[in-house]
Amino acid sequence: MNGKTILITGGTGSFGNTVADKLLNNFNPSKIIIYSRDEKKQYDMRKKFNDPIFQFIIGDVRDRNSIFKVMKHVDYVFHAAALKQVPNCEFFPFEAVQTNIIGTQNVLDAAEEVSVEKVVVLSTDKAVYPINAMGISKAMLEKLMLAKARISNSETIFCGVRYGNVMYSRGSVLPLFVEQITKNKDITITIPQMTRFLLPLPIAIDLVLFAIKEGRNGDILVRKSPAATVENLAKAMKEIFNTNVKIQTIGIREGEKMHETLVTQEDLMKAEEYGNYYRIKNLEKLDFDKYFSEGKVNHFPQEGYTSANTERLSLEETKELILSLEEIQEALKGYKVDAK
């Protein structure tokens, strides 16, 4: 990516800040464009980096004209703009449609028009066997990317990444636990046996950079990740913060799964393992006549790659992973000060 212009949609989020820092310190891009609709976050990010390599543009992927204008002279696109929180998408599903589906199509169309080198769209385990509006909209994001990869006449490579819970990202459970602990409130969990993939943000960034380097047209790349039960997450936080607050079970909420899936049984039929990654290959052209009359695969995997059958972290391993997070280390400093 040396000498390249890189566009990050939704660039003021947790992902955008971290990948921008990585690009700045490990590569030599000519320009990093941060495209988002939050002027306060852009102001904070501009002060934080204070580097002329950045260009900050206020805009919304829903606005087709805006994204077409910003795409000119761009080489690589990280499409991170999305509504990501399950409750918000459940209550306002059309907002998820406009941002996660229509906004994605606008980004793909704009990238195709100017023949950018590569577009990487960011997806989630909730897009797999989706049961909530956020997951459904992200599943459509994947389908739109795959359709563009199949039919586009440009030289642009369209690919994607799919990952599970990014630890300490906005709206995730660890910041909630920290808030509850520091306010001496009960830690609330849905159900003890529920499992979730755990992925530190730097590893998620590595996945996206891996996609920039290795992603082929139509690929969805998945990083193998360990998982933990929500009970162990809560217990680990109690021990880390040395608190006596109780753990309260509130039950599974609307739109939540007991376990998440990163690679389905159907995906595994066309996937290959690539070290710590799965590459789900989707380039093959669709022939409508053959699609309706001919099958291809005789072997069907017994199960997909899920948070129930991946590497399960013990309580001590969960604590170790949580303690590796810079945000937790900072929270502990403040907590110790307050405790005095």
Provide the 3-class DSSP secondary structure of residue 219.
Answer: coil
What are the φ/ψ torsions at residue 232 (nearest 5 degrees)? -65, -35
Catalytic residue among 126, 138, 235, 257: 126
Is 137:96 a contact under the CB 8 Å cutoff? yes
| Sheet with 76-79, edge to edge strand ranges | 54-58, 31-36, 5-9, 76-79, 118-124, 157-163, 220-223, 277-280, 271-274
Rounded-to-integer distance, Cα 306 and Cα 207, Å: 18
Residue by residue, DSSP assigns 255-290 as T--SS-EEE-HHHHTTEEEETTEEEE---PPP-HHH
Q: How many CA atoms lie within 13 A of 208 on its CB side?
A: 28
Catalytic (active site) residue 41: no
Tokens for 247, please give them.
């753990």
Catalytic site positions: 126
